[in-house]
Amino acid sequence: MLDSFLFIPCDKVRFLNKMAKIDSDYFVLDFEDAVSEEGKEVAYQNAMAGEFEENVFFRLPVFDKVYSKDKLTKLIHKSRGNIVLPKLRSLNELDYFFRLLDDEQSRRIILLIENPECFLNLEKMLQRYGSDIYAIGFGSHDFCSEMNMKHLLKFIHPIKLQLNVISKAYGVRFLDGVNVNFEDTKALIKECQFAYDLGMEGKFFIHPDQVNTANSIKYVDDEELNTMKKVYNKLLSLDEGEFDIIKVDGVIYEKPHIKRITKILRKLREI
């Protein structure tokens, strides 16, 4: 139910070669935190030599001056405009990034919110570039570090909720950040369920086992699924435009409820 975005260090050929065997919806080739300074050039060469599917994004250190403007432009072109943009703080920085793009280039940009400045400037960014923004991602660990705040759900929950509201207001997806302890399966399941319940569309992962765990989660239990099917079947029995509400098992469902139910059933391939 949550789309998976798996980080792959682009300097590690053995990891790149395993991508085809991993059941992740999307891959994020990492040129940033997961790659050492010595590995940056290797990552660049691997990317330029590779052939990648449309579900592959590049996380590029645009603002760290690790790569020359020429190399950044080539990497952006190689990515087909599928970019995860980290360490963003200001609208001016986002303006600079968009000046690197070709006017005719397709664009699916994921903004990582990793610091308070970006959080406060997010709406201005979406107002200017919303049509090119594919999703908002929350880099909760970097965010908490900058806030000098413990990485606990009770502290980051309000921030996630606000980011989800903003993303929905501007019609972009919201992606949950990584769980760095890939051996703690129970915590990962809890995080994924929370993200789904909050209305997020996806989550970042750092290990294939995490993707497998997320894919195995039953986000909707049998009772809830049966109720959704009843509502949808009642909808099918009515002529288009005939209803304002639907009543099932003593509960009233209005059009926003039905829209959500239909979306979930399609995601589950039940319709």
Return the higher-pLDDT residue of 271 and 52: 52
- Amino acid (1-letter code) at residue 173: R
The whole-number pLDDT of residue 271 equals 81
Decide: 247 and 221 in contact? Cβ < 8 Å.
no
Q: Tell me: the pLDDT tens digits for 182-223?
A: 889 999 999 999 999 999 999 999 999 999 999 999 988 889
pTM: 0.89
Average pLDDT value for residue range 112-137: 97
pLDDT of amino acid 41: 97
Q: To the nearest whole percent, how much of the chain has pLDDT over 90?
A: 80
Classify residue 256 as exposed, middle or buried by CB count within 10 Å of its CB (0-12, 13-18, 19+).
exposed
Cβ proximity of 234 and 262 under 8 Å: no
Say what the pLDDT of residue 205 is.
98
pLDDT at residue 105 in the model: 77
| DSSP code, position 195 | H
130-143 pLDDT, tens digit each: 999 999 999 999 99
Q: How far apart are CA 245 and CA 37, in angstroms?
A: 59
What amino acid is encoded at 180 in this protein?
V
Q: What is the mean pLDDT of residues 99-121?
A: 93
Q: Give the separation between CA 8 and CA 15, rounded to whole angstroms.
A: 7
- The packing angle between helices 185-198 and 208-216, to 10°, is 60
Token pair 């926003």 in the structure block, residue? 256
For 47, 60, 67, 166, 168, the CA distances from 27, given in Å and listed in that order, are 13, 14, 21, 25, 23
- pLDDT of 241 strictly over 70: no
Name the 3-class secondary structure at 108.
strand
Residue 240: band (very low, low, confident or very high) from pLDDT cuts 50, 70, 90:
low
Instruction: Look up residue 145 and give its DSSP letter.
Output: H
Contact predicate 30/231, CB 8 Å: no
pLDDT (mean) for 86-96: 97
Say which residue, 104 or 266, is predicted with more confidence.
Answer: 266
